[in-house]
Structure formats: C-alpha cells, structure tokens
Amino acid sequence: MSNKRVYIAYTGGTIGMKHSSKGFVPEAGYFTEQVNKLPELAYPEMPSIFVNEYECLIDSSNITPEDWYKISEDIKAHYDDFDGFIVLHGTDTMAYTASALSFMLEDLSKPVIVTGSQIPWSQMRTDARENLITSLLLASQYDIPEVTLYFHNRLYRGNRTRKVDANGFHAFQSPNFPALVKVGSQINVNQEIILKDPSKPLKINKISPPKVVVLSLFPGFSADMLEAVLNSGIQGLVLMTYGMGNAPCNDAQFLKLLTNANESGIIIVNCTQCLKGSVDMSSYETGQELLKAGVISGFDMTPEATLTKLSYLLSSDCSKETIKQKMQVSLRGELSSNLPEAD
C-alpha cells in the first residue's frame, strides 16, 4: 500500500454541490462524505487522504486575496505532514487562484494541484471523479514541486492557465506553455519543463487587496476613460492591447496620460488581448510609443498571472524600479523559458 498522504482543501465550487429546489448548492458535509467513500481509495497506489471542508464554502466568483491567504496558510500549517496538496475550487476564477498561489507559496517543494469540475459530483455525468482521482495520483506519486491546475486529462502550470470554455470539460488551456502532464492510457510527464525543488523552507507571501486595474482597449477608446482610471488611486495598470502589444499612436492625450502616470509611480504592464503569443513593443510604431511612455512588457504572461504577480510585488517592500524589473523576468515560470530568468 502507498504510504503517501494527500491533504485536500475543499474551498467550495461546483464540484461539491448538490441539487436542490434552488438549483445546485453546497451542503455541509456531503462532499467530504462522498470522497471518503470512494472505492478507488482502496487501490494500492492511492494515497491516504484528509479532507478539510472549509466552514464557509466559497463560490469562486466571490474569491478574494484574503481567501488566497487563508488557503496558503492552510497548506503551510499542514506542510510537513503531507506529501501533496489538492485545492478544490470553483472554475470561474480557478486560473486567478492558481496564479496567485504560485507567487504566494515561495520555495515550494511539494505538489499543489488546483482542480474542480464543470458538473457536480452528485450528477451521473460528472467530470469531478476523474479530476479528483487523477489529481490524487499526481499529488502523491510524482515529483512536481509547483502550483498546478489539473483539468480534463491535462496538468498545467497554474500561472499559465486560462479558462477558455464556460461549458465544456476541456475548460482550461495553457496557450503559451505545454502541459506538464498528459493523461491517457498512460501518464506522460514532461520532466524537462517542471520547476526544480528549491530545497528551501516554504515561505508564505501575502497579497493585499490590489489597487490594480485591468483595462482592455477597443477601437474608439477614449483617453478620458483612461484618465478616470489613472486618477482613481491605483498603483498598477494591466493594459490589454492589440496583437503584439499595440495601442493607438495618434492620440497625443492617451500617450501623455501614460507618460505622466509612469512618472507618478503607477506601474503599467502591456498584455496582449490575444489568447496566444507574446508582447513585442519594438516591432511597430504603435508599440514603440508605449515603450517611450514607460510602459513595460508583460511578454507572454496571461492576464491572470500579470494581475496577481503585479499585486504580489506591490504587496512587498520592493521599490518601484525593482517591481518593474521583476515583472519582466520569470519568478515562478510564468514567462517562457526563452525569456530572461530571475536571479
């Protein structure tokens, strides 16, 4: 029998809901009871488990940085007693949580897998059972010391994921980075791209409620709207631009506002609206004007990773210049390997 132990933090989400007259709702104790009765747990390769069902189950649309910190502290409190950790979570903000935890759990040396389901455990056609069973195997039998997201036969680096389908089982993708593990009749692990065990004690970083805004450009975007956002007391702006990081270059007020914001200490990060690809502000005049205004590149980071990384760094005691530098290098594998690595 396996002597591995896996800790399951059941935070809420569709996976544990039960049908009622009001639709699907969480019911205290129901999901924990069902998991502990899983016949698959009797297989010799399966770990022993402990389920911590949170007292107030969270709809993922209500998730906050305080909840991320609670999850991080929960993992830290049980870190020495378990071989791996699973965070059961709603799908709507799962990519945000997986990204945030990757920055909050510093020097992670054990697997932390975020997963959930599109259909509740209580339903006949649920995807919950496969997602949980495979996550248990991966968390206990494989050396993957990073925050990951498992869904529908793929284990992804958490800070590379995006939810791309509201209904389908293949709800998540990692557009700019390959899957760490592909699961079929065999479990195929891409060892070359997995982060290395730092062999350091786990450290928890807190993300304060972010004063960061994500703003998406569109044809006809008014500089007055940008001014209103920049004057709202924010510390950072994730600017979702076109293509390879392009924005209007014929709007002097728009560019002046960005320049002034940068000079006042607001950190502005350029992210592409495209699902796949990387920002390269040197290719076109429209991108070069952003560079001149002090906008920094988000390269191929997802918006979720960019937002949580910037919030994490703004919650630290780093200077503005250090934050800008760290935003443009890889801290937890959130940037592609052909881009600069952090010291």
The catalytic site residues sit at 14
CA–CA separation, 204 and 223 (whole Å): 39
Other Cβ atoms within 10 Å of 337 Cβ, number: 10
Token digits of residue 324: 């800008």
Contacts 24+ apart (CB under 8 A), 133-138: 133/38, 133/40, 134/183, 135/86, 136/6, 136/46, 136/47, 136/49, 136/86, 137/45, 137/46, 137/187, 138/84, 138/111, 138/113, 138/181, 138/187
Positive/negative CA dihedral, 308, 313, 314, 315: positive
d(CA 224, CA 220): 11
Burial 180-209 (b: 16+ CB within 10 A, else e): bbebeeeeebeeeebbeeeeeebeeeebee
Burial class (CB in 10 A: 0-12, 13-18, 19+), 263: exposed
The Cα 230–Cα 183 span in angstroms is 45
